[in-house]
Each structure stands twice: as C-alpha cells, then as structure tokens.
A and B are shown apart, each in its own frame.
Chain A
Amino acid sequence: MVKAEAVHKSYGRLEVLRGIYLEVSPKEVTCVIGPSGSGKSTFLRCINHLEKIDAGRLWVDGELVGYRQRGDKLYELPDREVCRKRSEIGMVFQRFNLFPHMTALDNIVEAPVHVRRESRGAAEARARKLLDRVGLVDKTNSYPNQLSGGQQQRVAIARALAMQPKLMLFDEPTSALDPELVGEVLDVMRGLAEDGMTMIVVTHEMGFAREVGDTLVFMDYGVIVESGKPRDVLANPKHERTRAFLSKVL
C-alpha cells in the first residue's frame, strides 16, 4: 500500500528525513515511535504530499506520490491530480483541526459534498452512521468548541472516514488529549484496525502499539533505526538507541 525508498527531506539546511525505507501492506497497522524531531510527522505528511520530498521515491497504492514517471523523467502532478490523490488518504491531526465554523455533521459532510460531489442527502446519511460509529450521534449539531478534546478527535476521525479512504494517517492523535480522554479515541482506532483499515500511526501510546500494531517502527534522527513485530521491538530492542528511548518512555 505504501512504499518508501530512500526518502529525503530538508528544511533549508536542516535534514529532517535522511533515507527512509518502509513498506506497508494493505490492512496492516504500522505504528511509528521515536523522539520528537526524529521526522515521524514529516514522513507522514510526505505520504499525502503535504510536504514535498527532495530525494528518493514514495509510492501509495503503486503510484508515485506527487509525480508521474515517464521513461526516466519525472513530471510534477498538476494540483487537481494531487487533490484527487489526497482525497483517497485520510489524515488525523494532533490538534484535531476541525473546522470551527461548522457543526460536527457539516465537518464530516464537507468533503464528500464539495470534493466528491456527492448529494447532500447521501453524504449526511453516511455522516450520521459515522457519528454513530464513533459514539457521538448526540453531538451531530454541536460546534467543535462545544466538544471535549476526545470528542473532537473522534469527529475528526469520522471526517476522514467520510471520504472512504484506502489508507489512514494518524499524526499523534492522542497527544493533545487529557489522559482520561485518550481511551475513547484509541477505542475508535482499534475498531478501525479490526475492520481491516490500512493505518500508519505516529504515536506515543506504547500499549496501543503493542496490542493493535502489526509492525512497530522506531525512528530517530531522520532514519528508521529498527522495525519489527511490536512485541519483539518493545521487549528486545536490538539497537542501542531504541533501548535508550524505550527505557525512558516505558
């Protein structure tokens, strides 16, 4: 589903990604851990082309991200194409980023109606089902600032699901939440994983990574230091840096 080969990315002179190699198969849940500044979020944002990579290759579903290859020449994709591809990948942000001027329902309906040109009725019907799925039917007409952090994040997940994505990216979805609200968001994500959604989750929730993740990836300083079955990596980290990191967070 996702394949990264020697992905590099710099901001000015700061090299954030220094050669990422990763493969994610369909229906797989990949959890990415690592210290802050290790490039986890940047890598995630490269996958839906919110950031442009400088070198290497990145594929989603067999297609290059942001480019088209003809012969050995790369052509930048026009905006329209980039948008279409983004609409097939759901993304959930650390700070929720719900649209504050719209109700929960309108947040979810927005993209299906205006990007996918679905009828409002059909989109709303699906939005209500999604709200039910994340346990928030009673918040249909609430504005984001009337919701708790956990509720907002669940609406944000529903908003991403409304586009029926083939891949979901989670960028530290529980890091901005009060500890007691983390559980409700992780429950929703666990449910998604059980339904066979392909997910890449940048997280600090080791428990979630152990139970739900199929693969655990440890990133540091712009490279993947170690990856493998979550239980193995967490219990017997092979690399010194992984061990040092885990000893601090576990």
Chain B
Amino acid sequence: MTEIASGPSAASPEAGRRPEAIKAVPVRHPWRWLSAVLVLAIAADAVYTLFTAVQNDVTGAGSGWNVVLKYLFQRLILGGVALTLELTVAAMVIGIVLGIVLAVMRLSPNPVTSIVSWLYIWFFRGTPVIVQIFFWFNLNLVLHRIGVGIPATNIEIGASTNTLITPLMAAIVGLGLNEAAYMAEIVRAGIISVEHGQTEAAQALGMTRLQVMQRIVLPQAMRVIIPPTGNETISMLKTTSLAFVATVPELYTRAQQVANFNFAVIELLIVASMWYLFLTSILTFGQYYLERYFARGAQRELPPTPFQRFRQMLFTFHAPPPQVPDVVVAVPHDRRV
C-alpha cells in the first residue's frame, strides 16, 4: 500500500477532527536546579554575614539593626526623603519639558534654533552637574540682581539674586538644566525612530511641522523615549544627593548629618539605601504602566500585567485545555460583495 504523506484529504472522514493534544515528557534541566541552589547558598551567606556584622557593630546605641529601625522613620530622615522626592520631580519636569523643546529645536530646519540647541547640549553635558549646582548656588557672587528692564531707563522688573535663588532653587535649576541636555538626546533618538512615512502622510494631509511633531511623531516616539527616561529618573533620584553643595538637606545629607552625630555610619547608610531602593521600586512600577499605555496600537493585544499573569496562574492551574472552535475554515466576514 502506498499513501501520499500530505495529511488527510478533504474527503477523508478524519478531516476537520482535531487530534488529541500532545503530551510529551519535558526536557529536564538539571543544571538550572544546581545553579539555582548555588546562587541561593552564596546569597544566603552574604546576607547572613552582613546581617550579623551590622548586628554586632557597637556604636553605643545597641544593636545595629535597632539603630536602623530607630532612624528609618525618624523626622529628620523623613524630611530628607521628602526633599529628595521634591528635587527629583522638579528637576525631571524641567528636564523633560526643556529636553523636548531642545530636541525639536535640534531637528528644526532653522539653523539658528538648531545651533542654539547644539550649543546648549554641548555645554550642559560637558560640565559636571556638581559644578553647575554650585554655580547657581553662588550666582549672587557675579550677579547681584536678576530681572528684565529697558536700558537707559528706570523701568525694570527684578529682584536680588539672593531672594530669587534659594538653595533649593539652585539645586533644582542646576539638576534640571543639566538633565535637559541628556533628555534632549533621548527625545531626539525617539523622534528619529519614527518611520518617515508617518511624517509624509501627516504633511500630505496639510498638517504644519509643529502639528506633525505634536500629534503624530512625538506620541509614537514616546515608546522609545520612556525606558531611558525611567532610567534618567531613577538616576536623578540618586544624583539629588549632590544638592548638598547647595546646602539642601536631602536624604543622603541628612543621613550623613545624623551619622556625624552618633557615629552609626553604616546603619545610616543602610537607612538611606533602603529609602532609595523603595523609591526606585515605585518608579519602576510606574514606568511599567506608562510603557503599557504608550504601547497601544503597537501590539495587537497588550500582554497581561504581572498581576494579571499571577491571577491567571492561580486560577487556571488545573484548567482544561482551551476549547477548539468547530469551524475549520474561517471565511473573512468583511468581504464586500
């Protein structure tokens, strides 16, 4: 008997019947298990060593962990956390807004705006943030008054530098203007990543350059812009510790101040680190949902969130295999007659 090995023909009684689902013995991965055990052992040892070391660290205030607990929610530290958050948010808002403006300027056909943007990025990326913050903090050494006015008249609106540039303002301006230079390049990368056909289609509809940017290109660029922006925000959270040069007592400075007072250096570093880790975790979480929002239209179905996946795992552990529809041949239902 010879048979043509091309599956059942349409006439065969088997046609349309679904064969039984495959049940095969999965490939074993002994090395995965072994490496997992090894990693766990090393991690446990490291945690234990650190834990007991801190426990035995005698600072006169009892066990190290008690010190950590005591200061974790202490008023001074909480004040520092608040300031750190304030600095991060304010600096990132300045950075993102100015960054978008700089990126659009950089890509503009107008040579003046493009060169201005290039120079800005060159200067603010090329000098250390700490120097920039320190400069704004000491601005009144070079400028005593800030304001606008008409030369050769008495008409002027302004105030003395010391009233305008408070230490907090100096830190925010320093961090924000520096961040804008980095954000400009991130936004530019996003804009370039959007297919040129999009711009053309929008122009063909009569949209102006600004409308094309605002309505068509930037929303699509967001997908590329958000991950590195999340990166920048998390990095900014920790860079705010440089605000100490402007005497702003944010989290790290506060922890140092307390440590100088009670000599519990390691304990307070742990306190600060725990807060930084906690804030970073929140930001990471927020970034995930922001990315999902801007992914609309880029994927057919959004993948389930970790929570949804977890729920699915819990409730479908012993679920029956998915139902197979009876229809074997699908006819496109939108074909016009």
Do A and B bind? yes
Q: Does A242 contact B (CB under 8 A)?
A: no
Cα distance A103–B219 when bound, in Å? 14
User: Contact: A138 with B334, CB < 8 Å?
Assistant: yes
Which chain B residues lie closer than 8 Å to A98 at the CB level?
Answer: 201
Which chain B residues lie closer than 8 Å to A163 at the CB level?
Answer: 205-206
Tell me the residues in window 184-210 of chain B with beta carbons closer than 8 Å to chain A beta carbons: 195, 197-198, 200-209
User: Contact: A100 with B207, CB < 8 Å?
Assistant: no
Q: Does B336 contact A (CB under 8 A)?
A: yes
Cα distance A110–B203 when bound, in Å? 12
User: Contact: B206 with A83, CB < 8 Å?
Assistant: yes
User: Contact: A100 with B297, CB < 8 Å?
Assistant: yes
Count of residues in A whose CB is under 8 Å from the partner chain: 42
> In the complex, how many angstroms separate the beta carbon of B294 from the nearest chain A beta carbon?
8
Q: Does A95 contact B (CB under 8 A)?
A: yes
Binds B, one of A23-31, A85-93, A213-221: A85-93
Which chain A residues lie closer than 8 Å to B297 at the CB level?
Answer: 100-102, 143-145
Q: Per-residue 0/1 for A98-139: is the Cβ within 8 Å of any B Cβ (1 yes, 0 no)?
A: 111110000000110011100000000000000000011011
Which chain B residues lie closer than 8 Å to A248 at the CB level?
Answer: none
Cα distance A153–B219 when bound, in Å? 22
User: Contact: B215 with A110, CB < 8 Å?
Assistant: yes
Which chain B residues lie closer than 8 Å to A115 at the CB level?
Answer: 205-207, 211
Tell me the residues in window 38-57 of chain A with beta carbons closer than 8 Å to chain B beta carbons: 48, 50
Which chain A residues lie closer than 8 Å to B206 at the CB level?
Answer: 83-88, 111, 115-116, 163
> In the complex, how many angstroms separate the beta carbon of A46 from the nearest chain B beta carbon?
13
Count of residues in B whose CB is under 8 Å from the partner chain: 28
Which chain B residues lie closer than 8 Å to A85 at the CB level?
Answer: 206
> In the complex, how many angstroms separate the beta carbon of B215 from the nearest chain A beta carbon?
6
Which chain A residues lie closer than 8 Å to B220 at the CB level?
Answer: 99-101
Cα distance A123–B98 when bound, in Å? 34
Q: Does B335 contact A (CB under 8 A)?
A: yes
**In the complex, what residue of chain A is closest to B198 when comparing beta carbons?**
A97
**In the complex, what residue of chain B is closest to A97 when comparing beta carbons?**
B201
Q: Does A240 contact B (CB under 8 A)?
A: no
Cα distance A80–B206 when bound, in Å? 9
Q: Per-residue 0/1 for A165-193: is the Cβ within 8 Å of any B Cβ (1 yes, 0 no)?
A: 00000000000000000001001000000
Please provide the 4 A-B residue pairs with the shortest distance between their CB atoms, ordered closest to farther.
Answer: A87-B206, A97-B201, A111-B205, A91-B204
